[in-house]
Amino acid sequence: MAALSDPGLVVIGDSGRTAAAIGPCAPPPYPDSADHELSECAVPGAQVRAASVRGLMHRHKREPRQDRFSVVYDDATATLVIVVCDGVGEFALSQEAAAFVALDAPRAYLLHRDWYAAVAEVNRRLAEVAADAPHRTRLAAVPDHGMATTLAAVAIRFTETRRLASIAWAGDTSVWFLEKGGWESLTDEKPGGDPDAPDSGRVQALPAATAQPAVAERELLDGALFVTTDGIGNPLRDAGQVREALAGWWATPPDVFTFARQVGFARKSHLDDRTAVGVWLA
Amino acid sequence: MTEYSEDRNYSEDRRSDGEGQIIMPFYLLCDVSGSMTGDMGELNKALGELHQQLLGEPIINDLVMMSVITFNHDARTVVPLAAPEEMTLPALSAGGGTDYSPPLREFHTRFTADRARLKGEGKRVYRPCIYFLTDGEPNNAGYQATMASLIAKEKNPAYPYICAFGFRDATAASLQTLAYPNFGEDNKRGRYFIAKDGASITDVLRAMVGVLARSILQSASSASAGTPLVAMPEPDAVPGMGGSFV
C-alpha cells in the first residue's frame, strides 16, 4: 500500500511565524471562490501549469482569494491566451472584477487580435459590471460594492518556426521569462517617483476612465514564460533566494500539485494571494 | 518541511532571508518628564503588556517593527526599531521638563537611519507611524518649527502618520498640532485623543494598550492587501479618552 508523504510547508528562506500559525481557515461567504485553483494542459508546442493560492492574510481575515486566471487555446489560429488578474484588496468585491476580466479578456483578444482594443472593451464591460454590483444578490451582505483588478495577459502565437508573444499589463501583475541565464521581467517599467518616498502598494487598475495597458511584443526562444500576480512577482523581483529557488524548481514543468505547493511557498511577510501560470515551450 | 538553502555564511543568510521583506515601522514616543514620576510603574506595565500582545500575533511579528523613544526636555531611543520578538524593554524612569521638539528630531534622525539600513538589506519600508504619548504641555512652542522643517509632508517625502494621546495637563490645542496628516477623507484624517475628566491614568494606559495593539494589527493586515494603510483608532475607541479628528 502506498503511503502519502507529509506535504509540510514549502519554504524559501525565513518562513516567518504566520505561515505555520495559519492553516486552513473558515471559508469566506462567497461560494464561487475556492481557496485554491489549479489547471494543467498541453498544447502543440507547450506545457502549461497554473495555480492560484489563497493568501495567508485573506485566510486570516476570512476574505476570499482575489486572484483569478484563465487559459484558453484557439485551435484555428494556434494561439494560447493566458490572463492573470489580481483583485485590489481595498475593495470588498474585487474578486468579482478579477473573475470577470479573466473570463472576458481571452474572448476580447481573440476577437480583436489587439490588446489595446481588447482591454478597452473589457474595461468598458467591467465598468458596467461594477455599476451593477449593488443590485446582484449574494449569500451575505458586503461592506461595500467596490471592485478593481490588475491585469497581465499574454497571447502566444505558435507557427512552424516561431513563438510570438503579445503581452499586455495594467498594474503590478507581471510576466517573466526563465531561461538558462535566469529570470527576465517582460513587464519591467522604469522606476519613477521620489526615491525618498516610502514603498507603497498602490497600483493602476481596471475599471479606469481610460484603460491604458502597456503592450509589448516578444519572440520567445527556448525557456518558460510565467504570468504572475504580485504575490509571486514581488518576491521574484526583490529576493535572490526566491529567484534561485523558483528557477531550480521550474526548470522543467512539475506536476500540477507540486507546482501549486511551490506557488504557495512560505516566506516572511509575504502573505498575499499567489497566482502563477507557467508555459514551458517545447 | 521543504527548505531552500545553500551554504552561505551567517551575514549573507540574514540578508538573503530579508530581501523583499515588507516592514511597517511604528515609533512610540513616550513622555517621561518629571510629572510622570508617579505613573512610571503603570507606564512600564502598559508597555510590557503591549509587547506581549504584539508577540502574540504572528502577523504583527512578520510585518511590523517598533521602536520606543522617551522624552522630557531631551530625547533618546530606548528600544531601537526591531520586530517584537527581537525587542527588549528597559524599565523607564522619569525626570526633567517637557519639550516636544527633541522626540520629533530623534524620530527623524532614527527613521532616516533605520530606513537606509533596512533598504540596504533589500527590505521594502512602508510609511512610518508615530504614537505620541504625553501628560503635559510643552514648555516652548519650538516643536512647531521642528514639525514644519523635519516632519511635515512639504519637506519630507517619508512623512509619518502621527496619532497623539494626552492626559493630565496635555491640551487638545497642542495635540491637534501633532495629529498628522489630514488626507481629507474621513478614514484618513489625523486624530488625537485626550483623557476625559475623572479618568484615571491607570485605566487610560490600560485601555491604550489594547487600542494600539488593534491599530497595529489592522495596519499590518492591510499590508498585503495592495494598499497598506496605517489604521488609526476610531475616535471612540479608547475608554476614558475622547478622540477628535483634526
Specify whether the CB–CB gap between A154 and A225 falls below 8 A.
yes
pLDDT for position B9:
44
Structure-model confidence comparison of residues B206 and A111, the more confident one: A111
- Chain A: give the shortest CA distance to residue B136, in Å: 32
Give me chain A's average pLDDT, please. Answer: 92
**B229 or A95, higher pLDDT:** A95
Count of CB atoms situated within 10 Å of the CB of A17 = 18
Confidence of residue B4 (pLDDT cuts 50, 70, 90): very low
pLDDT tens readout for residues A166-188: 999 999 999 999 999 899 999 98
Query: Does A200 reach chain B within 8 Å, measured CB to CB?
Result: yes
pTM: 0.89
A242 to chain B nearest CA, in Å? Answer: 9
**One-letter identity of residue A124:** R
**Measured between alpha carbons, how far is A95 from A58 in angstroms, rounded to an integer?**
12
pLDDT the model gives residue A184: 96
Mean pLDDT, range A50-63, rounded to an integer: 93
Check whether B217 has a pLDDT greater than 90: no
Residue B6, pLDDT > 50, answer no
Pairwise pLDDT comparison (B6 vs A78), residue with the higher score: A78
Residues in Cβ contact with A195 at an 8 Å cutoff, skipping those fewer than 6 apart: none
Q: Each residue of A87-129: pLDDT tens digit?
A: 998 899 999 999 999 999 999 999 999 999 999 999 999 999 9
B243 confidence band (pLDDT: 50, 70, 90) = confident
- Rounded percentage of chain B residues whose pLDDT exceeds 70: 87
Per the domain annotation, does A13 fall within a domain? no
Does position A209 have pLDDT exceeding 60, yes or no? yes
Q: Looking at the predicted structure, is the pLDDT value of residue A191 above 60? A: no
* Nearest CA among A147, A146, A163, A145 for reference residue A155: A163
Query: Which carries the bigger pLDDT value, residue B10 or residue B145?
Result: B145
Mean per-residue pLDDT for A31-56? Answer: 96
- Fold assignment, B20-245: Rossmann fold (3.40.50)
B222 touches chain A (CB under 8 A): yes
Task: Among B4, B23, B224, select the one facing A271 at the smallest CB separation.
Answer: B224
The half-sphere exposure of B204 on its side-chain side, counting CA atoms within 13 A, is 22
Closest by Cβ to B127, choosing from A198, A271, A272: A198
CB-CB contact of A220 with A278 (8 Å) = no
CATH code, A112: 3.60.40.10
Residues B42-77 have pLDDT tens digits of 999 999 999 999 999 999 999 999 999 999 999 999
Give the rounded percent of residues in chain A with a pLDDT score beyond 90. Answer: 80
Between A4 and B76, where is the model more confident?
B76
- Number of domains within chain A: 1
Would residue A102 count as lying in a domain? yes
Structure ipTM over 0.90, yes or no: no
Sequence-distant (6+) residues with CB within 8 A of A148 are: A87, A88, A91, A94, A97, A205, A206, A207
Tell me how long chain A is.
282
Of B85 and A189, the structure prediction assigns the larger pLDDT to B85
CA dist B22 and B62 (Å) reads 8
The interface residues of chain A toward chain B in range 68-87, judged by CB-CB distance below 8 A, are 86
- Domain boundaries, position A244: 18-188+202-281
